Homo-oligomer: A and B are copies of this chain.
Amino acid sequence: MTLWDKYPVIKEEMDAFEGTLRRFLSSKNELIGSAISTMVSAGGKRLRPALTIASAHFGEYNMDEIMRIASSIEILHMATLIHDDIIDEAKTRRSMETMHQKYGVNVAIFAGDYLFSTSFSILSVKEDVDTLVHIASIIKSVCEGEIEQYCSRFSKDMSVYKYLRRIRSKTALLFMLSCELGANISHCSRDVTNSLKRFGMFLGMAFQIKDDILDYIGDETKIGKPVGNDLKDGIYTLPLIYAMEKDNNGKLKDLLYNQPYEIEKIIELVIKYGGIKYAEDLMDKYSKKAKEELNKLPHNEFRDFLFELTDDLVNREN
C-alpha cells in the first residue's frame, strides 16, 4: 500500500518509477549498495518525483526522460535526508532505523555524498548548462537553509520572516524544481511552466508548515516519531515563533530557558497563544495560492490530481 494507490491517474507511473530508481542506485560496493537499497525499500512519499511526472503531463510527455529526471530529484532528496538525519541525530525515519543509526555516521556521510554524485551524473547526461547551474544553485540553497536552521537553534529572536525564508530554502525550492524540470522536459509553454513552478513553491511552503505543525500536535503512532522532536533539538518553527511573539508575560520564554525542555507544557502554551491556529491559517493561505496557480493550467486529469494532492498533504496526519 503506497500513497499513490488512491490516485489511479499516476499509480502505474509511480510503480514504474520505483524500478527506475533501483536501477540507478546499484553500486559496486556491497555495503553502500545494501545501505541504499534498504533506504529505497523503506520507501518514502516520493512526492517530488510525482510532481515531476504530473507536471510533465502538461506538455509532450516522454516517459524515459521523465523517469530519469524524477529519479535524479528523488536521489538528491535522499542524499539530503541522510545528512539531515545525522545532524538531527534522528534514530528513526518512517518508523525504520535511519542509515547512520544502522550503518554508522561514517557510512552515512559518504553514502549521502555518493547519492549526490549519482544524481549529478544522471542529470549531466542530458540537461543543458542553464538547468545544471540552476539545480546546483538550488542545492546550495538547501544546504544554506539547513545550516541557517542549525545555527539558529535555541535562538529566541527567530522571526516569522526568517522562518519563511528558511523553509523556502530547505523545502519549497526543491518542490518548485521538481515541477519546473517536469515542465521543461515536456516543452510546456512559458505560462504553464511558470504556473507549475509557483504551484510547486507554494505547495512546498504549505507542506513544510504542516510538517512543523505535526511536530506539535501530531499523533506519535502516525508520524513515526515523538512529538516535540524538533523542539527538543532547539529548532523553533512557526507555531512556537508566533506563540513567542504573543507571550507577553514571558511564561513561554521562561520554559525555553530551562533545559531539558518540558515539552508538554511548552506545547500547551503554544496552543494557548494561538501558534497552531496561526500556522494553520498561513498553511491554508499557501495551499490556496497553490491552487490558484493550478486554476491557470489547462484542465486535465493531472490538474485534478494536483488539486487533490494539495488537499491531502495539508490534511495529512503523517
Contact = CB atoms under 8 A, between A and B. Distances in A.
Contact of A150 (B107, B113, B117, B132): B107
Interface string A125-143: 1100100110011011001
A217 interface: no
A110 B29 contact: no
For the complex formed by this chain, how many copies does it contain in all?
2
Contacts of A117: 116, 136-137, 139-140, 143
A140 B24 CA distance: 13
A104 B106 CA distance: 15
A147 B140 CA distance: 24
B110 A113 contact: no
Contacts of A107: 147, 150-151
Given A32-B147, A133-B121, A113 B111 contact: no
Interface string A97-120: 000000011110111111011101
Contacts of A104: 150
A80 B104 CA distance: 18
Categorize the interface residue count of chain A. Answer: 35 or more
B31 A110 contact: no
Contacts of A129: 124-126
A27 to B, nearest CB: 7
Given A31-B147, A87-B109, A133-B121, A114 B126 contact: no
Interface in A129-168: 129, 132-133, 136-137, 139-140, 143-144, 146-148, 150-151
A144 B109 contact: no
Contacts of A31: 147, 151
Contacts of A124: 124, 129, 132-133, 136
Contacts of A146: 110
A113 B151 contact: no
A73 interface: no
A87 B113 contact: no
Given A109-B112, A114-B140, 13 more contacts: A31-B147, A31-B151, A32-B143, A32-B144, A32-B147, A80-B113, A87-B106, A105-B105, A111-B143, A114-B144, A118-B140, A120-B120, A121-B140
- Which 5 A-B residue pairs are closest in the complex by CB-CB distance? A121-B136, A124-B132, A114-B143, A117-B139, A87-B106
